[in-house]
Amino acid sequence: MFKIIKKEPLNPSMTRMVIEAPFVARKAMPGQFIILRVNETGERIPLTIADYDREAGTVTIIYQKVGKSTLLLDEQEAGGYLMDFIGPLGKVSELEGYKKAAVIGGGAGCAIAYPQAKALHAMGTKVDMIAGFRDKDLIILENEMREASDRLIVMTDDGSNGNKGFVTAALQKNIDEGADYDLVIAIGPIPMMKAVSNLTKPYGIKTIISMNTIMVDGTGMCGGCRLTVGGETKFACVDGPDFDGHLVDFDEAMKRLGTYKPEEAREREEHCRLYGGIK
Amino acid sequence: MPNMQPNKTPMPEQDPHVRNKNFKEVALGYTDEMAINEAQRCLQCKNPACVQGCPVNVPIKDFIHEIVEGNMDKAYEVIKSQNSLPAVCGRVCPQETQCESKCVRGIKNEPVAIGRLERYVADWYMNNREPAVTAPKHNGHKVAVLGSGPSGLTCAGDLAKLGYEVTVFEALHAAGGVLMYGIPEFRLPKKIVQEEIQQLEKMGVKIDTDMVMGKVLSVDELFEMGYEALYIGTGAGLPNFMNLPGEGLVGVYSANEFLTRINLMKAYLPEYDTPIIHPKNVAVVGGGNVAMDAARCAKRLGAENVYIIYRRSEEEMPARNEEIHHAKEEEIIFKLLNNPVAIHGDEQGKVKQIECVEMELGEPDASGRRRPIEKKGSNFLLDVDCVVIAIGNSPNPLIRSTTEGLEANKKGCIIVDDNTLQTTREGVYAGGDAVTGAATVILAMGAGKHAAKSIDEYIQSKADQ
Ligand SMILES: Cc1cc2nc3c(=O)[nH]c(=O)nc-3n(C[C@H](O)[C@H](O)[C@H](O)COP(=O)(O)OP(=O)(O)OC[C@H]3O[C@@H](n4cnc5c(N)ncnc54)[C@H](O)[C@@H]3O)c2cc1C
Ligand SMILES: Cc1cc2nc3c(=O)[nH]c(=O)nc-3n(C[C@H](O)[C@H](O)[C@H](O)COP(=O)(O)OP(=O)(O)OC[C@H]3O[C@@H](n4cnc5c(N)ncnc54)[C@H](O)[C@@H]3O)c2cc1C
Ligand code: SF4
Ligand code: FES
C-alpha cells in the first residue's frame, strides 16, 4: 500500500498528488512513468512521474480526470492509500547535448512536458516552453513552467487568455523568427504531437514525442502498448515512451487508443451513477 | 490384488456446453472412492519407472500406497517432500509425456492417473487440514529471488526450509507468474495458487510485489543490501509477434495481453475495471497450451466461432492432450495445416478478416517435426473481429540488459552452468523459462530446487572459509 501524502486540485479537471513510494523516488528520472492501481478491483493505469523527492521518498503525479480510473483516483484523499504504485518504468529521456529546445505541452501533456523542460533547463539548454490549453480556466503549472524555461508562451484554443491559437502556431512563429532549435519535445494529445512532428520535419529539427498508448503491465510482457516506429514494432512501455516523432505511425496509434471506447464510456457512466462523480 | 481395470478411473467434469459459458473449473476432481479405486490400479513396481518421468522425482508409488491405506496426511507429506506446489502440478503437468508416459500399466492399457491422484491428495489436504507450517530458525544468511513464478517460489521454499531468510521480488501486483496471469481460472483456480503461496509465506518467505527488478533495484544493489546470492526466475514473458501486415489493427492481441486482462485483471467480471473486447469471431494463432487457453477464454467471453489456426497437424501440437480434447468438446474449431499471412481491417482500423494459406508437411526439421510448406495459391479469408497471436514467448530482457556480466544466448535465454545453474556472474543463479525459454511448470520447479541446493552449497562453502 502506498500512502497519499498530499492532494491538490490544479484546475477543475486536473489534480496533483504526492505519493509515498521510496523505491520509485530513489531511481526516478525525467521521461519515466509509474503504473498504479487504486484498489483491488481497479485497472492498472500509467501516469508520468511529474516530480520526485529522493530524500522524502515521494513521487508527484498530475492527472486529468477523463474516465472511471482517474475519477476513482480522484476520490482518494490525503492520508489514504493506493493499492499499487509501480515504477519507475520506461526509458529515461535523452536530453544531453542540446543548445536550444522548444518544449511543447498540450493540456494534461503539460504535466508530462514540464519535468523535461525542468531537466533541460537545469543542464544549461536554452528552453522555450509552449503550453496549450482549451481555455484559460484550464491553465495549470504556469509558475512552474515559467521557472523551468527561459521563455514561456501559453496559448488557448479560444483566446481567453489573450493568446489565441494552437501550439503549432506559436512554434511556427518562433521558428520563423529564427529560434534555431536543435530539439523539439512535444507531449499531448496524438493529433497535436502529429501536427508538431509534421511541422518540424521539413526543417530537420529533431522532434521527440511521448507516446500515451494503452498499457497493462508496463514491463514489456503484453505488447498492448505496441506502435509502429520507422516500420518496426516497438513497445512504448520499455522502448519508450519517448520516440522520434518523424518516424511514428500516429494514425495507427490514434485508432489503437480508441480500442475500448464503448467499455470506457459505460464504466464512466456507471461509476458516476454510483458515486456521483464528475461527468 | 491390484485393480486390473484397463482404463483410468474417469474424472467428473462440467458439461462442455455449460462450461464453455463460465470460468469455473472444468475438471471437478476425484471423490474419495474414485481416488482409492484408481490408486489400487498401481502395481507398486520394485523399480518404478514413473519416478524417472517426474522432473522433481516425487516418490509416486509411496504416496499412491498411502492413498490405498487411507492415510491422506501421509500421502500429502510424501508428495510435499519433493513438490512444493502439488495442487498446481496435478492440474497442469503434461503427465502424458512425463510420469504417466513411463508407467508400466500404460504399455497395455491406460497408465495410472498419477496427476489426478496428486491433485486429489493436495485438494484433500487443503479442504481438511489447517496447515501448521512454522518458519524454520534462520541461519543468518539472506537470499533474493527475482520473479515469483513456479521456479522462483520453489527455490524460495526450499531455501526457507534450510533456514535462509528469503525475499521474493515480483514485478506484477500478484505473485504466481504464469499461474496467475496465464493459465485461466477454469484450469487452475487462482484461490489454489494463492493458498499454496500462503503456505510458503508461513514458512517465512517474504514476497515483495510491485518490484520491477532491473528498474527498481539492480543485481549489484541487491548484493550491497546484504543478499549473498540471487536466483533469477523471471520467466519468458516477452510475446513474439509474427510481423504480419495488419498486426497493429484494433482487436489484435498477444496471448499474453489477452490472458493477462482476463486472468490477472479479471476483465470478464463486471465488478473489475479492466476492459476487454467481447468478440464474435476469433482467430487464435498457435498450437500450444497458450493457444488453447486463449481460444477457450474467447469462447467464454461469448464468441460464436473460435478458430485455432495451426501450421502443422494435430500430432505436432505441443499443447497437453487433455486441453486439446477439452477445447474440441467446447466447440473450438481447429484449422490445422493453415497459416496466416495477413490481417485485414476496416476503415476504423478494426480487424475484419484474417487471410490464411494452406500448408502441407515436408521433411522433418531440426526439431524432428515435419516442416510445414505453403501450398501456393491456396489463400482464403476468414471473417473475424479479433486475432490472438499465441506463437510463443521469449525471456524478458529487462534484468539482463541492466546487469553487467550476465550473459544470454542468441534467443535471450540466460546462460547457466548445467551442474550448478550459476550464471556468468558469481552468486547469481537462474532457472525456469528465463533459461530454457517457454517450457513447463514442473521443469521450472525442478530448476528452482536444483538452484536452491547449489545456492546452499555456495553460501555454506563461503561461510566455511
Ligand atoms: C506513459 C504514459 C504516461 C501518462 N501520463 C499521464 C499523466 O501524467 N497525466 C495524465 O493525466 N494522463 C497520463 N496518461 C494518460 C492516462 O494513463 C489516461 O488518461 C488514463 O489511463 C485514463 O484512464 P481512465 O479510466 O480514467 O479513462 P478511460 O475511461 O480509460 O479513458 C478515457 C479516455 O482517455 C483515453 N485514454 C484511455 N487510456 C489512455 C491512455 N493510456 N493514455 C491516454 N489516453 C487514454 C481514451 O481514448 C478515452 O477516450 C499517460 C499515459 C501513458 C501511456
Ligand atoms: C497460457 C499459458 C498456459 C500454460 N499452460 C501450461 C500447462 O498446462 N502446463 C505446464 O506445465 N506449463 C504450462 N505453461 C508454461 C508454464 O506456465 C511456464 O513454463 C512456467 O510458468 C515457467 O515458470 P517460471 O517460474 O520460470 O516463470 P513465470 O511463471 O513466467 O514467472 C516469472 C515471474 O517473474 C516475474 N518477473 C519478470 N520479470 C521480472 C522483473 N524484472 N522483476 C521482478 N519480477 C519479474 C513475472 O512477472 C512472473 O511473475 C503455460 C504457459 C502459459 C503462458
Ligand atoms: S510405474 Fe505405474 S504402476 Fe508402477 S509404481 Fe509407477 S504408477 Fe505404479
Ligand atoms: S504495457 Fe504491456 S508490454 Fe507495454
Its ipTM equals 0.91
Distance B388 CA to ligand 4 centre (A): 15
Average pLDDT over residues A61-79: 94
**Residue A143 predicted with pLDDT over 70:** yes
The pLDDT value recorded for residue B371 is 86
Q: Are A7 and A37 contained in the same domain?
A: yes
**pLDDT grade, residue B205 (50/70/90)?**
very high
A-B contacts (CB, under 8 Å): 110
Pocket of ligand 2 (CB under 6 A): B 92-94, 146-152, 169-172, 177-178, 182-183, 211-214, 233-235, 237, 259, 289-290, 293, 320, 396, 398-399, 432-434, 438-442, 444
Whose atoms come closest to the Cα of A211: which ligand? Answer: 1
A57: in domain: yes
Question: What whole-number percentage of chain A has pLDDT above 70?
Answer: 97
Per-chain mean pLDDT for chain A: 92
A263: in domain: no
Indicate the residue among A65, A89, A113 that finishes a domain: A89
Q: Is the peptide bond before B48 cis (omega within 30 degrees of 0)?
A: no
Q: Does the CB of B256 have a partner CB in chain A at under 8 Å?
A: yes
Atom of ligand 4 nearest to the CA of A237: 4
**What grid cell was written down for B367?**
526439431
The parent domain of residue A185 ranges over: 100-258
Residue type present at position B180 = M
**Residue A273 predicted with pLDDT over 70:** no
**Residue A254 predicted with pLDDT over 70:** yes
Whose atoms come closest to the Cα of B295: which ligand? Answer: 2
The pLDDT value recorded for residue A52 is 94
Per-chain mean pLDDT for chain B: 94
The pLDDT value recorded for residue B374 is 93
Domains of chain A: total? 2
Question: What whole-number percentage of chain A has pLDDT above 90?
Answer: 82
The string of pLDDT tens digits covering residues B133-147 is 777 889 999 999 999
**pLDDT grade, residue A276 (50/70/90)?**
low
80-139 of B, contacting A, C-beta below 8 A: none
**Residue A270 predicted with pLDDT over 80:** no
Q: Are A185 and A148 contained in the same domain?
A: yes
Q: Are A107 and A236 contained in the same domain?
A: yes
Q: Does the distance separating the beta carbons of B248 and A227 come in below 8 Å?
A: yes
* CATH value at residue A161: 3.40.50.80
Question: What whole-number percentage of chain B has pLDDT above 70?
Answer: 99
Phi, psi of A73, deg, nearest 5 = -60, -40
Q: How far is B173 from chain A (nearest CA, A)?
A: 7
Atom of ligand 2 nearest to the CA of B434: 26
The string of pLDDT tens digits covering residues B320-351 is 888 999 999 999 999 999 999 999 999 989 99
Atom 6, ligand 3: which residue's CA is nearest?
Answer: B50
Q: Are A44 and A174 contained in the same domain?
A: no
Average pLDDT over residues A106-112: 90
**pLDDT grade, residue B398 (50/70/90)?**
confident
A159: in domain: yes
Average pLDDT over residues A216-240: 95
The pLDDT value recorded for residue B46 is 93
Q: Are A107 and A180 contained in the same domain?
A: yes
| Closest chain B residue to the Cα of A255, Cα to Cα | B349
Q: Are A242 and A118 contained in the same domain?
A: yes
| Closest chain B residue to the Cα of A222, Cα to Cα | B257
Q: How far is B414 from chain A (nearest CA, A)?
A: 17
268-297 of B, contacting A, C-beta below 8 A: 271-277
The string of pLDDT tens digits covering residues B269-288 is 989 999 999 999 999 999 99
Average pLDDT over residues B74-98: 92
The string of pLDDT tens digits covering residues B402-438 is 888 899 999 999 999 999 999 999 999 999 999 999 9
User: Which residue in the set B216, B241, B398 is minimally distant from A223, CB to CB?
Assistant: B241
**Of residues B323 and A264, more confidently modeled:** B323
Are both B142-237+395-464 and B239-389 of the same fold?
A: yes
**Of residues A259 and B37, more confidently modeled:** B37
**pLDDT grade, residue A274 (50/70/90)?**
low
- Chain A partners within 8 Å of B237 (Cβ): 219-221
Q: Are A70 and A116 contained in the same domain?
A: no
**pLDDT grade, residue B84 (50/70/90)?**
confident
Domains of chain B: which residue ranges?
16-128, 142-237+395-464, 239-389
DSSP one-letter string for chain A:
-EEEEEEEEEETTEEEEEEE-HHHHHH--TT-EEEEE-STTPPPEEEE--EEETTTTEEEEEEE--SHHHHHHHT--TT-EESEEEEEESPPP--TT-SEEEEEEETTHHHHHHHHHHHHHHTT-EEEEEEEESSGGG---HHHHHHTSSEEEEEETT-TTS-BS-HHHHHHHHHHTT---SEEEEESSHHHHHHHHHHHGGGT--EEEE-----SSSSSSS-TTEEEETTEEEEHHHH-SEEETTTB-HHHHHHHHTTTHHHHHHHHHHHHHHH----
**Residue A279 predicted with pLDDT over 50:** no
The pLDDT value recorded for residue A261 is 83
SS3 of residue B95 by DSSP: helix
Q: Are A116 and A52 contained in the same domain?
A: no
Atom 1, ligand 1: which residue's CA is nearest?
Answer: A212
Average pLDDT over residues B195-204: 90
Q: Are A198 and A159 contained in the same domain?
A: yes
Whose atoms come closest to the Cα of A237: which ligand? Answer: 4
**pLDDT grade, residue A277 (50/70/90)?**
very low
The pLDDT value recorded for residue B399 is 86
A267: in domain: no
**Residue A271 predicted with pLDDT over 90:** no
**pLDDT grade, residue A275 (50/70/90)?**
low
Q: Does the distance separating the beta carbons of B275 and A264 come in below 8 Å?
A: yes
CATH 1.10.1060.10 is the classification of domain B16-128:
yes
Which residues does A266 contact at the CB level (< 8 Å), separation at least 6?
A: none
Q: Which long-range contacts (CB under 8 A, 24 or more apart) does B325-330 make?
A: B326/B16, B326/B26, B326/B292, B326/B296, B327/B292, B327/B295, B327/B296, B329/B16, B330/B16, B330/B19, B330/B20, B330/B296, B330/B299
Q: Are A55 and A119 contained in the same domain?
A: no
A251: in domain: yes
The pLDDT value recorded for residue A128 is 95
385-404 of B, contacting A, C-beta below 8 A: 396-398
Whose atoms come closest to the Cα of B114: which ligand? Answer: 3
Q: Are A78 and A182 contained in the same domain?
A: no
Q: Does the distance separating the beta carbons of A252 and B273 come in below 8 Å?
A: no
The pLDDT value recorded for residue A220 is 94
The pLDDT value recorded for residue B362 is 87
User: Which residue in the set A221, A256, A259 is minimally distant from B237, CB to CB?
Assistant: A221
**pLDDT grade, residue A110 (50/70/90)?**
very high
Q: Are A18 and A120 contained in the same domain?
A: no
A252: in domain: yes
Give Dmax (Cα) for chain A. Answer: 54
The pLDDT value recorded for residue A263 is 80
Interface of A with B (CB under 8 A): 23-24, 27, 37, 41-44, 68-69, 72, 83-89, 216-217, 219-224, 226-228, 233, 238, 249, 251-252, 255-256, 258-260, 263-264, 267
- Binding-site positions of A for [2Fe-2S] cluster: 222, 225, 237
163-192 of B, contacting A, C-beta below 8 A: 171-173
User: Which residue in the set B209, B210, B273 is minimally distant from A43, CB to CB?
Assistant: B273
pTM of the model: 0.94
Average pLDDT over residues A238-256: 95
A264: in domain: no
The pLDDT value recorded for residue A259 is 86
Distance B38 CA to ligand 3 centre (A): 12
Q: Regarding the domain with residue range B142-237+395-464, which homologous superfamily does it belong to in the CATH classification? A: FAD/NAD(P)-binding domain (3.50.50.60)
The string of pLDDT tens digits covering residues B237-250 is 999 999 999 999 99
A157: in domain: yes
* CATH value at residue A80: 2.40.30.10
Check: CB of residue B392 under 8 Å from CB of residue B367. Answer: no
The pLDDT value recorded for residue A186 is 96
DSSP one-letter string for B293-362:
HHHHHHHHTT-SEEEEEESS-GGG--S-HHHHHHHHHTTPEEEETEEEEEEEE-TTSBEEEEEEEEEEEE
The pLDDT value recorded for residue B396 is 87
Q: Does the distance separating the beta carbons of A238 and B173 come in below 8 Å?
A: no
Indicate the residue among A89, A121, A140 that finishes a domain: A89
Q: How far is B202 from chain A (nearest CA, A)?
A: 21
Q: Does the CB of B242 have a partner CB in chain A at under 8 Å?
A: no
Q: Does the CB of B321 have a partner CB in chain A at under 8 Å?
A: no
Average pLDDT over residues A160-180: 91
Neighbour tally for B373: CB within 10 Å: 12
Q: Regarding the domain with residue range B239-389, which homologous superfamily does it belong to in the CATH classification? A: FAD/NAD(P)-binding domain (3.50.50.60)
